[in-house]
Amino acid sequence: MMFNRFPLARGSLALLLAMPLVIGGVAYAQRTAEFDDPAATRAAMQRALTEAKEAEARGLRLEAEARQLSEALEKTATEAAALAARIQQSEAGIAAAEARIDLINGERAALNRRLADRREPLVRLTGALQKMARRPLALSALKPGSLRETVYLRAMLESTVPQVRERTAALRGEIRRGRSLEEEARQALGALQDNEAELEERRTRLANLETQQRLQSRQASSAAARESERALALAEEARDLDTLVGQLDQVGSLRKELAALPGPVMRPAQPGAGVASGNIPSPTPSATRSNLKFQLPVTGRTLTGFGDTGSNGLRNTGITLSPRDGAQVVAPAEGRVAFAGPYRGYDRIVIIEHEGGWTSLVTGLARTDVEVGDDLVGGSPLGVAGSEGPVVTLELRRGGTPVNPLEFMR
């Protein structure tokens, strides 16, 4: 057959005929891409990888601190904070894997389009050559003019083969890239599944540890219940969130002043030997600036920063974050829970008193795992964010005045 005299053309074009229009897929349910721009997706992936490393470092630090503690309640609290950091590490790892899969899917779709554009004209050429090759050369010689046609066809093929070779070489490279992308997608899917398994296991461990922590702190339940009732009453009376935070600040300041007062002075054996008033210790004034270092309560991208103007025209007094559904929310720093529960228009909120006159406010929780009066270490689990596009906000106040949390981050 005439076509058999050009094995290069036959092999190259047969490769195109056998080439799939869509590179083999990976068994992963497609999500709606969070970002339309590949550059934004890459930035999100890099941010998630950074957050995963930071959460891992926090987890290692807290695990080391927990091993050094002997007091059961404090040890359990630190272990819970370490687990919460590990949960955030898994969440950030999932976000990074999902962003990587989005990038791979986008590149594969573009590759498929390029292959489809290049394949169509060469497939038509292949069909024409195969049609001409069906007539044996011996029969072609019996027809008038067939020899001239044969010479013309051979000349045409000899000029066509170099072009076919060149185009086939480029396409072979595209096919190799497609196979490489498929392997990358499998690796990303494996990382995603590993992080999801770790996340589930760590959430189970944290739930068990929190149950143990509550059992250990039952002795203070009566006082905590009274304080919680007082906080809920203030929430009912407060006109807005600013008023509630201010009232809780006043209550917290009063409690600290009372705690700083000296205890009762024993009556001296001799009336003249009383303790001089100058020897009575006075309350230590609150520091204007604390050595505390704060952290963001969730991993995720920033929606609005401190001082940004919102849709209502008001300036934002905190940082608004967009975490993944059901994300772990943690305490920005060590402190004492002043309020925990639902508040109108903000889902559930947690207000924490910190040393030095600092107060932090975390809103947007679907569930709270702390109670009023709980003493927290930095990174202690507060609860979880909501689902279907949750929004979590952190506000930081010093002496009642909102400040930019990013200036005091760890």
pLDDT score at 27: 44
Which is higher by pLDDT, 155 or 103? 103
- Given a cut of 90, whether residue 114 has pLDDT beyond it is no
Contact 91, 296 (CB under 8 A): no
d(CA 30, CA 28): 6
For residues 98 and 42, give the distance between their C-alpha atoms in angstroms, rounded to a whole number. Answer: 11
List Cα–Cα distances, 223 to 50, 110, 219, 302, 373, in angstroms: 42, 64, 9, 38, 8
**Crossing angle (nearest 10°) for helices 7-18 and 72-133:** 130
| Tokens read off for 353 | 């008193």
Query: 394 pairs with which residues across the strands?
Result: 319, 362
Determine which of 290-299, 324-333, 379-388 has the lowest per-residue pLDDT on average: 290-299
pLDDT at residue 85, rounded to an integer: 95
Q: Please state, in angstroms and rounded to a whole number, the distance separating the CA atoms of residues 183 and 101.
A: 11
Query: Are 380 and 362 in contact, with CB atoms under 8 Å apart?
Result: no
Q: Which two structure tokens, joined as six digits, stand for 219? A: 């002795």
26 pLDDT band (50/70/90 cuts)? Answer: very low
Give the number of C-alpha atoms closer than 13 A to the C-alpha of residue 105, restricted to the C-beta side: 21
Quote the tokens at residue 402: 């909102």
- pLDDT band for 200, please (50, 70, 90 cuts): very high
Which pLDDT value is given to residue 135?
56
Long-range contacts, stretch 44-51, CB < 8 angstroms, 24+ apart: 44/95, 44/99, 44/301, 45/95, 45/96, 45/99, 45/100, 45/103, 47/301, 48/92, 48/93, 48/95, 48/96, 48/99, 48/299, 49/92, 49/96, 51/88, 51/92, 51/95, 51/299
Which residue would you say has higher pLDDT here, 311 or 135? 311
- Of residues 148 and 95, more confidently modeled: 95
Q: Which pLDDT tens digit goes with each residue over 175-187?
A: 888 888 889 999 9
Residue entry with tokens 């002795």:
219
Say how far apart CA 81 and CA 63 lie, in whole Å: 9
Beta bridge partners of 322: 301
Return the structure tokens found at 352.
């924490």
What are the structural domains, with CATH classification, of the chain?
Answer: 2-25+34-216 (no CATH), 221-259+290-408 (2.70.70.10)
**Two structure tokens written together for 63:** 């695990």
Interhelix angle 72-133/146-216, rounded to 10 degrees, is 170
Which has more pLDDT, 303 or 269? 303
Of 191, 196, 189, 186, which is closest to residue 91 (Cα–Cα)?
196
- Asked whether the predicted pLDDT for residue 350 surpasses 50, the reply is yes
Q: What is the mean pLDDT of residues 303-330?
A: 88
Angle, CA of 141, 143 and 149, to the nearest 5°:
70
Q: Which residues pair with 320 in a beta bridge?
A: 304, 393
Is residue 117's pLDDT more than 70?
Answer: yes
Give the pLDDT score at 227: 66
Q: Which residues pair with 396 in a beta bridge?
A: 360, 403
Say which residue, 319 or 35, is predicted with more confidence.
319
pLDDT at residue number 129: 61
- Indicate if the pLDDT at residue 376 is higher than 90: yes
Mean of pLDDT values over 200-212: 89
The pLDDT of residue 9 is 46
Tokens of residue 198, six digits: 């770790």
Considering the chain, what is the average pLDDT of its residues?
Answer: 76
